[in-house]
Amino acid sequence: MDNNTGFHFDLTMYVNIGFYRYPAFVVSLMLFAIILFANLAIILVVSLERTLHEPMYLFIALLSVNSLYGSTGFFPRFLLDLLSDTHLISRPACFTQIYIIYTYASYDLTILSIMAYDRYVAVCDPLHYHNKVTPKTVCRLAAFAWICPAFSIGLCVYLAVRLPLCGNKLKKVYCAIWNIAKLSCVSTSTNNVVGFLVTSITIILPLIYVLYTYFRIILVCRKNSSEFKSKVFQTCLPHTILFVSYSVSGFCDIALNRLNDESLNPLFAVILSLEFVIIPPLLNPLIYGLKLPEIQRNIFKVLSNLFSFR
C-alpha cells in the first residue's frame, strides 16, 4: 500500500453505542471544558499574582500549559469521531496527532522531573535553595523540558512516516506509533531501537530520578520534626499523586498496545486508552488548586476581583 497524502487510517476501537453517543459527546465536551477552564485558571493566577512567581508555581503553570496542549491535540478530533459513523483520519492529521500526544506525554514527565529536583533542593538543601534554583536555572530547566522531547519524539515520528504500510486499521481511538509500526510491510528494527532509546530517556530516566529524589526527601523527613514533615507532605503530596496517576495511566496505555486486542472487552480497552489523555490534564489543576493553599486562596482572590469589577 502506497504512502501518500490521500491515505487514510481507520480508527477501529470506537464502539458502536448507538444513541448513547450523544450523552458520551456531552460528557466528553464537559470534561474538555473543565480541563480548559481549570488549567487556564491556574495559568492566570500564577501569571497575575507576583507572590506566586516562584519556581514551584511556575512549574505548576508549565504543567497546566502542557495539559492544554495535549487536550487540544486530542479532544476536538475525539468529539468529532463520537458523532461520526466513520472514523477515518488522514495521514498528515494522524502523524500530527501522534506528535502532539507523544510530546505532551514526554513534557509531563520532564516537567514532573524538574519539579522533583525543585522539591529535593528545597527539602534537602534549603540553605542553598536560592543559589541553586535561580531564575536562570528555572529558564534552563524549562527549556530542557520542552526542547529535548520535541526532538526525540520528532525523530520517532520521522521514522514512522517513512515506513511503507500494508494496512490502514488502527486498534485505537487516536493515532499511536506502535499501532502504525504493526502495519509496516518491512522490518521495524531501527524504529524499535530508536523507540527504546527515546523511551529510556523520556520515561525510565525521569522515573528513576523522581524515585531517587523522594527517597532522599523521606530520609531527611525522618530526622526532622512533625511540623517539618507536615509542611513537606503538604507541598510534595500533589506532585506525588500526579506522578503516580501519570505513571499508572502511561503503563495502562503501553500495556494496551502490547496486549492481544481481541481478548479485551472493547469498552474496557477504550477506557484504558482514554485514561492516558484525560486523567492527568484533569487531575493537575484540581489537585494543585485544592491541596496548595496559596493557589487556592489566589484563585478565589482573582475571581472575586473579576466579579467585583463587573
Domain locations in the chain as residue ranges: 8-309
C-alpha cell belonging to residue 147: 526542547
What is the reported pLDDT for 5? 43
88-90 and 169-170 as β-strands: parallel, antiparallel, unpaired? unpaired
φ and ψ at 17, to 5 degrees?
Answer: -110, 10
49, with CB counted inside 10 A (0-12, 13-18, 19+), is middle
More confident residue, 177 or 257: 177
**CATH assignment of 8-309?**
1.20.1070.10
Give the per-residue pLDDT at 29: 93
Among residues 8, 35, 9, the alpha carbon closest in space to that of 282 is found at 35
Average pLDDT, the chain: 81
User: Which one is predicted more confidently, 110 or 251?
Assistant: 110
Compute the average pLDDT of residues 85-110.
89
Q: Which of 67-81, 152-166, 249-263 has the lowest mean pLDDT?
A: 249-263
Q: What pLDDT is recorded for position 69?
A: 94
